[in-house]
Amino acid sequence: MTDITTQKDAALAAIAEAASLDALEEQRLDAVGKKGWVSLALKTLGGMSPDERTAAAPAIQAARAAIADALDAKKAALEAAALEAQLVRETLDLTLPAPGSPKGSVHPVSQVMDELAEIFADLGFAVATGPEIEDDWHNFTALNMGKTHPARAMHDTFYFPDRTEDGREILLRTHTSPVQIRSMLAQGAPIRIIAPGRVYRSDSDATHTPMFHQVEGLVIDKGIHLGHLKWTLETFFKAFFEREDIVLRLRPSYFPFTEPSVEVDVGYSTEGGRRVVGGHGDAPGHAWMELGGSGMVNARVLEFAGIDPNEWQGFAFGLGIDRIAMLKYGMNDLRAFFDGDGRWLSHYGFSPFDQPTLSAGVGARA
Amino acid sequence: MKFSLTWLKDYLETTATLTQICDALNAIGLEVEGVEDPADKLAGFRIAHVLTAARHPDADKLQVLTVDTGDGAPLQVVCGAPNARAGMKGVLGLPGAVVPANGMVLRKSAIRGVESNGMMCSVRELELGEDHDGIIELPADAPVGSSFADYHGADPVIEVAVTPNRQDCMGVYGIARDLAAKGLGTLKPITMPAFTAAGACPVAIRTDDPEGCPAFYGRMITGVTNGASPEWLQARLKSAGQRPISLLVDLTNYLMLGFGRPAHVYDLAKLKGAVVARRASAGEQVLALNEKTYTLNASMVVIADEAQVHDIAGIMGGQHSGVSETTTDVLLEIAYFDPARIGATGRKLGLSSDARTRFERGVDPEFLDDGLDLLTGLIAELAGGTPSEAVRAGSPPSQAKVIAFDPGLTLRLGGVEVADAVQKRILESLGFTVDGAWQVTCPLRRRDIEGPADLVEEVVRIHGLDKVASVALPRTEGVARPTATPQQKLERGLRRSSAASGLNEAVTWSFLPIWAAEHFSAPDQPLWVLANPISEDMKAMRPSLLPGLLIAAKRNADRGAGSSRLFEIGRRYFRAGNGLSDEKPTLGIVLAGEKAQRGWASGKAKVFDAFDAKALALELLEAAGAPVANLMVFGEAGAQFHPGQSATLRLGPKVVLARFGMVHPATLKAFDVDGPIAAVELFLDAIPAKKGAAFARPGFTPPALQAVTRDFAFLVPEALAAGDLVRAVKGADKAAITAVRVFDVFAGAGVPDGRKSLALEVTLQPGETSFKDAELKAISEKIVAAAGKLGAELRG
């Protein structure tokens, strides 16, 4: 009896001291392996009388259970220690940089065109397009600028040496207005469209580039007048700049394709060297800035576009997209728009997820 | 148009302030581009009385003055002018004033050790003239202490932009008329200086081209003295930005700038015989007043005598018969020329002038006789001489336009209610006549008035555009309807997908240098080349988006950028069969520089390869809704691409949706940019539109049974495209095989020469019941057989 107890205590002590899984296995074999002393002791029970067996068995069984428990516990402890040691070895310097992924961007001109489309869609305007390589009939004649009209010469037009089959001059459109003509010819009245796109003038200096972007607006319906034009532009600018204090000033002007013609100014102030749209232009610290031309579509233009001016009338306007993009998003150099400088595109470009929506506000804040 | 306030007030009786006048000008459509008020420049300059003058102790040429400035104690001022002396009155600039001539801010200072509290100024320093020999000497009665600007009568100059329809406002008098209509004062009648005409004009005048020159009036004046103009005339011309030349020239300019009426004065001594308006003969030449010789043609009108051309009609006079200081006898010309022809002539000759600007817009046909008399009277008054009677050839247009006007149109078109009586008053104040039935007769000078809408504009601009109230556009009921077209949605989607793929959207010029456009154009596609490009770099319309992006990538690299991932959505410009423009929407991508920088984990920097381009092409085509699974990889990406590392993606053999690959080294060289560069072009017009797409997707339930995979390694001919093998294997059992993926490509040790090993992972999807061994075996056999047709053998 004493012998079993002594052996058990010795085994438990050895198990407790086992420093590795191998050492522990040695102890397991030594005690409860096939030829271990506990196993051998258990075998001796078979040769005993029932009485002897009853007397000897509990001690042996108890020793076996105690050792098995001790082995399990020690094994778990050793494994946990080994895992912990392994994890320590696996420690990473997480201040090292993680792999990056390139960030793409949407050009401000595209972003603003999407904003325009979103705002004007709510007012019932579709987006129309037309060719950039135009003929002089669509670009000038149908817009009431005949061959000898002085305004033609003021357009700094890029011409091609080519002619159309019916002898029209071919040129780069100087404004988006020919899209008015094409849209009216194609779909008649009533019509509400905006036509954003590239336009070209042979003009290049610090604030002019030979290619730039315009958006044309056109509404032809019954009973449309200057008041509707004013409301439409006010409503657009309020939505575009997301502020209610937009004040427009209309000034009489001259465009051959509108009559009456009005120039549109917006009140602004200068904050931190930047123009900030809003407020009355005559208020202290404010001034007026020209934003674009507009007017009631000239009856002759309607006739050229196959629409009866006695039945229909409406307004048209043209705005510089690059310009309103600069005003809204703070760029100050038009030439940079067309440079493709990755640094500029990353800075002034927009996340692909800045999709303009009316519910979130069409603008994307920095 | 520039003019001084004084000049305006010659014609407009008004008490309005400068600000009120400017506001009114803006309000009526004569946009004020600038106001130059000399008083602003002369702020801080006062009339001062020199009390004492003494030699500077340390400088021979300087004097120390004490000057009385009207208030406080006299100031000590050091002055270098030889004419400075006690008792005189002059102009003192006080500390803080800015010297107009040089922008210097005056300060209290010590000059050679003597304190100086300001500066006595010369004429030139105040930009009032050229004289710099001494300081300004004012008359003894000049009020000491008062502002010099007030004393001098500094006259503000207003610059307005006159729109091309308003020729009638290309003279100060017309502007005065518009302001009077706006209620800013009363228009004064034109003062006509009296003269006595003596005898008929002996010079014969004719117009041989009544279409180009309907009217040519003239008058001779003998015995004139052509000297310098009087001060008032010089001041007016200077305010308009004109340099005074001589009395006769200045007076014609005065008539033009004051009344919008160009005229010409010939030196009679230089003329020979009758003076005739006629067409030039082809090749005829004239040396114009700008000292350039112009070669004319038969479309141009000239004024000529028997000997030669003396005037490019309505544009510029000739040197030969121009007046000089010695001129004594002159012929005046006042004519009416056909506006369109003047414009055409000016454009053909590339010659601009103040006269052309007015004639091509159409001068007032009713102001020939008055203009002639006014000019004659002024010459007689200021240059002396004896005028003859006027002589007239032809007559100007005299048919006034009459418009039936409904005053209700002002509200319907202009959106503002203006009482009929007010409308009538406005129109009449502008020179229209209105009868009881609203038949409106237009003044002949208003060639711009074409119909009722123009009259609405006149009424509204004078009444005030600020009185037009905003009125909401009627809107359709409910939520706004979608308006974007499929093409617009495609472009918007692709733009954001491209950006989401890490690309930066660029906007590059539509035009390219010829060499760059030619490099990317096909021989059968002639380029669009501008006749009048702004520079050689912007000459040909782009046939591809890649050259512009390559040029941008080069610029980025030259600035030290490690990489450029650029895309652009825009048009390529081709020619349609009918010679018109065929503009194709396109997406271009250029991947240049490092794809990944060197890294602590990734090792060396990596460059872009053709598979980066392929991945983007497929990803974006899928985003565009193209049937990507059906696309085939073909060659023929174009000569600008590496022939072995580029391809096209096609739907069937002919429809090319995209090209991609590595840019050809020769292209890199041509664009002077370092490679390797990968590029993609997506041809958006070739992407088939989705047909009948509904919101509901086709029905789908994920299969209940798990898919199994089987690997096959084939030895194939080296030239066999992996895609061909994949397609063959996919086709071996279309029901069971749902995917085939190449996971290894190997050639070399263990693989026979001329062969390569392609390892495929085939995914098999069971239907209702799991595959049985025999079924899997049968499928495998079909796969091996299908591959075998391409010369592939299963590796042992």
pLDDT band of residue B42 (cuts 50, 70, 90) is confident
- By the 10 Å C-beta count (0-12 exposed, 13-18 middle, 19+ buried), A292 is classed as buried
Smallest Cβ distance to B475: which of A123, A170, A353?
A123
Cα–Cα distances (Å) from A115 to A110, A218, A355, B484, B585, in that order, read: 9, 17, 8, 13, 21
Which distant-in-sequence residues (6+ apart) come within 8 Å of B524 by Cβ? none
Window 385-444 of B, Cβ < 8 Å to A: 411-416
Say what the pLDDT of residue B764 is.
95
Nearest CA in chain B to A167: B579
Chain A: closest CA distance from residue B692 (Å): 22
- What is the spatial distance between Cα B5 and Cα A159, in angstroms, rounded to a whole number? 43
Cβ-defined contact of B530 to A159 (cutoff 8 Å)? yes
Cβ-defined contact of A148 to B482 (cutoff 8 Å)? no
Top mean pLDDT of A26-40, B118-132, B648-662 is at B648-662
B34 interface with A at CB cutoff 8 Å:
no
Q: Which residues of B touch A154 (CB under 8 A)?
A: 164
Q: How many CB pairs under 8 A join A and B?
A: 274
Cβ-defined contact of B412 to A252 (cutoff 8 Å)? no
Which of B35, B473, B525, B673 to probe by mutation at the A interface, max A CB count within 10 Å?
B473
- What is the spatial distance between Cα B431 and Cα B169, in angstroms, rounded to a whole number? 13
Say what the pLDDT of residue A61 is.
86
Cβ-defined contact of B164 to A151 (cutoff 8 Å)? yes
- DSSP H or E run through A259: strand A258-271
Nearest CA in chain A to B361: A150
Cβ-defined contact of A99 to B580 (cutoff 8 Å)? no
Of the candidates B117, B116, B80, B121, which has an alpha carbon nearest to the alpha carbon of residue B102? B121
Chain A: closest CA distance from residue B612 (Å): 13
pLDDT band of residue B3 (cuts 50, 70, 90) is very high
Nearest CA in chain B to A102: B502
pLDDT tens-place string over residues A195-204: 999 999 998 8
Nearest CA in chain A to B161: A253
Radius of gyration of chain B from Cα atoms?
42
pLDDT tens-place string over residues B289-335: 999 999 999 999 999 999 999 999 999 999 988 999 999 999 999 99
* In the predicted structure, residue A327 carries a pLDDT above the cut 90: yes
Which of A93, A162, A236, A359 to probe by mutation at the B interface, max B CB count within 10 Å?
A162
Nearest CA in chain B to A196: B488
pLDDT tens-place string over residues B333-355: 999 999 989 999 998 999 999 99
- What is the spatial distance between Cα B381 and Cα B358, in angstroms, rounded to a whole number? 27
Question: In terms of pTM, does the model score above 0.90?
Answer: no
Would you call the peptide bond into A190 cis, given omega within 30 degrees of 0 as the criterion? yes
pLDDT tens-place string over residues B506-560: 999 999 999 999 999 988 889 999 999 999 999 999 999 999 999 999 999 999 9
Query: How is residue A355 written in tokens?
Result: 């999709």
* % of chain B with per-residue pLDDT over 90: 77
Q: Which residues of B9-35 are buried (b: 16+ CB within 10 A; e: fewer)?
A: bbbbebebeeeebbbbbbbbbbbeeeb
B169 interface with A at CB cutoff 8 Å:
no
B222 interface with A at CB cutoff 8 Å:
no
Tokens 């319907």, residue located: B412
Of the candidates B96, B242, B244, which has an alpha carbon nearest to the alpha carbon of residue B157? B242
Q: What is the mean pLDDT of residues A183-200?
A: 96
Cβ-defined contact of B511 to A211 (cutoff 8 Å)? yes
The amino acid occupying position A241 is: F
- What is the spatial distance between Cα B713 and Cα B716, in angstroms, rounded to a whole number? 9
Cβ atoms of residues B172 and B257 within 8 Å: yes
Cβ-defined contact of B599 to A106 (cutoff 8 Å)? no
Q: What is the mean pLDDT of residues B735-745?
A: 95
- What is the spatial distance between Cα B645 and Cα B663, in angstroms, rounded to a whole number? 9
Nearest CA in chain A to B410: A225
The amino acid occupying position B176 is: A
pLDDT band of residue B82 (cuts 50, 70, 90) is confident
Which segments of B664-785 are extended strands (E)? 677-683, 708-717, 737-746, 755-764
B529 interface with A at CB cutoff 8 Å:
yes
Cβ-defined contact of B450 to A125 (cutoff 8 Å)? no
Which distant-in-sequence residues (6+ apart) come within 8 Å of A123 by Cβ? A192, A232, A235, A236, B473, B475, B480
Of the candidates B701, B514, B708, B501, which has an alpha carbon nearest to the alpha carbon of residue B618? B501
Cβ-defined contact of A252 to B28 (cutoff 8 Å)? yes
pLDDT band of residue A154 (cuts 50, 70, 90) is confident
Which distant-in-sequence residues (6+ apart) come within 8 Å of B451 by Cβ? A259, A299, B403
DSSP B410: H
Which distant-in-sequence residues (6+ apart) come within 8 Å of B17 by Cβ? none
Cβ-defined contact of B460 to A252 (cutoff 8 Å)? yes
Cα–Cα distances (Å) from B609 to A180, A337, B452, B718, in that order, read: 45, 29, 67, 21
Query: How is residue B432 written in tokens?
Result: 């229209």
Nearest CA in chain B to A314: B413
- A114: which strand partners? none
Cβ-defined contact of B581 to A131 (cutoff 8 Å)? yes
pLDDT tens-place string over residues B230-250: 999 999 999 999 999 999 999
Report CA torsion sign: B689, B691, B693, B697: negative
The amino acid occupying position A223 is: G
Half-sphere exposure of A157 (CA within 13 A, CB side): 23
> For B157, phi and psi rounded to 5 degrees?
-115, 130
Say what the pLDDT of residue B44 is.
85
Chain A: closest CA distance from residue B463 (Å): 11
Smallest Cβ distance to B460: which of A106, A110, A260?
A260
Radius of gyration of chain A from Cα atoms?
43
Q: What is the mean pLDDT of residues B716-726?
A: 93
Smallest Cβ distance to B453: which of A227, A250, A259?
A259
Distance of CA A313 to the CA centre of its chain: 39
Tokens 């950006």, residue located: B499
- What is the spatial distance between Cα B275 and Cα A1, in angstroms, rounded to a whole number? 155
- What is the spatial distance between Cα A280 and Cα A264, in angstroms, rounded to a whole number? 13
Chain B: closest CA distance from residue A271 (Å): 23
A44/A331: higher pLDDT = A331
Other C-beta atoms within 10 Å of B725: how many? 22
A124 interface with B at CB cutoff 8 Å:
yes
Structure ipTM:
0.90
Cβ-defined contact of B530 to A227 (cutoff 8 Å)? no
Smallest Cβ distance to B456: which of A172, A260, A337?
A260
- By the 10 Å C-beta count (0-12 exposed, 13-18 middle, 19+ buried), B760 is classed as buried
Please report the DSSP string for A143-208 in residue order: GT--TT-HHHHTT---EEEEE-TT--EEEE-SSSHHHHHHHHHHH-SSEEEEEEEEEE-S--SSS-
Q: Which residues of B675-714 are buried (b: 16+ CB within 10 A; e: fewer)?
A: bbbbbbbbbbebbeeeeeeeeeeeeeeeeeeeeeeeebbb
Cβ atoms of residues B347 and B299 within 8 Å: no
- What is the spatial distance between Cα A26 and Cα A14, in angstroms, rounded to a whole number? 10
* % of chain A with per-residue pLDDT over 70: 99
Cβ-defined contact of A299 to B453 (cutoff 8 Å)? yes
- DSSP H or E run through B371: helix B369-383
pLDDT band of residue A1 (cuts 50, 70, 90) is very low
Cβ-defined contact of A227 to B556 (cutoff 8 Å)? no
pLDDT tens-place string over residues B127-181: 877 777 888 888 888 888 888 888 877 789 999 999 988 999 999 999 999 999 9
Cβ atoms of residues B263 and B292 within 8 Å: no
B243 interface with A at CB cutoff 8 Å:
no
Which distant-in-sequence residues (6+ apart) come within 8 Å of B83 by Cβ? B133, B134, B135, B137
Smallest Cβ distance to B579: which of A165, A296, A352?
A165
> For B397, phi and psi rounded to 5 degrees?
-55, 140
* In the predicted structure, residue B644 carries a pLDDT above the cut 80: yes
Smallest Cβ distance to B506: which of A132, A198, A345?
A345
Query: How is residue B431 written in tokens?
Result: 């020179």
Chain B: closest CA distance from residue A11 (Å): 50
Supply the mean pLDDT for chain B.
93
pLDDT band of residue B388 (cuts 50, 70, 90) is very high
Cβ atoms of residues A64 and A32 within 8 Å: yes
pLDDT band of residue A2 (cuts 50, 70, 90) is low
Cβ-defined contact of B413 to A226 (cutoff 8 Å)? yes
Query: How is residue A34 written in tokens?
Result: 């096939």
Other C-beta atoms within 10 Å of A54: how many? 11
Smallest Cβ distance to A254: which of B163, B360, B412?
B163
Q: Which residues of A touch B481 (CB under 8 A)?
A: 124
pLDDT band of residue A261 (cuts 50, 70, 90) is very high
The amino acid occupying position B643 is: P
DSSP B705: S
Cβ-defined contact of B26 to A251 (cutoff 8 Å)? yes
Nearest CA in chain B to A158: B532
SS3 state of residue B485: coil
B242 interface with A at CB cutoff 8 Å:
no
Chain A: closest CA distance from residue B459 (Å): 10
Cβ-defined contact of A96 to B361 (cutoff 8 Å)? no
- What is the spatial distance between Cα B604 and Cα A118, in angstroms, rounded to a whole number? 46
pLDDT band of residue A38 (cuts 50, 70, 90) is confident
Chain B: closest CA distance from residue A103 (Å): 5
- DSSP H or E run through B120: strand B119-120
Say what the pLDDT of residue A42 is.
83
* In the predicted structure, residue B78 carries a pLDDT above the cut 70: yes
Smallest Cβ distance to B471: which of A227, A296, A355?
A227
Nearest CA in chain A to B359: A150
Which segments of B614-721 are extended strands (E)? 632-634, 641-651, 655-663, 677-683, 708-717
